[in-house]
Amino acid sequence: MAESPERLLYVDHIEEQGEQLYEMICRRDMEGIVAKPKESPYRELYGKTPWVKIKNPDYSQAEGRGELFNARRPT
């Protein structure tokens, strides 16, 4: 994967290397990855999303970010 100056890095379909990707984002102090099972749809189905957030527990800029995301959630 190439280095990107963007704050969001889109990585196209990494199969069977999810653990290595996760280890890389942790080493680079990135926030985490978003993933879904290959067979799952991209959109919600019956009110549920197949997407999961896999967060880096040691992300150095995590403090205070939860409030930002919670404020954006619809009620």
Given a contact cutoff of 8 angstroms between Cβ atoms, the answer to whether 55 and 32 are in contact is yes
Could you give the percent of the chain with pLDDT greater than 70? Answer: 68
Q: Of residues 73 and 46, which shows the higher confidence score?
A: 46
pTM of the model: 0.60
Q: Quick one: pLDDT band at residue 75, thresholds 50, 70, 90? A: low
Please tell me the total number of residues recorded for the chain in this structure.
75
Backbone angles phi, psi at 27, to 5 degrees: -60, -35
For residue 8, what pLDDT is reported?
66
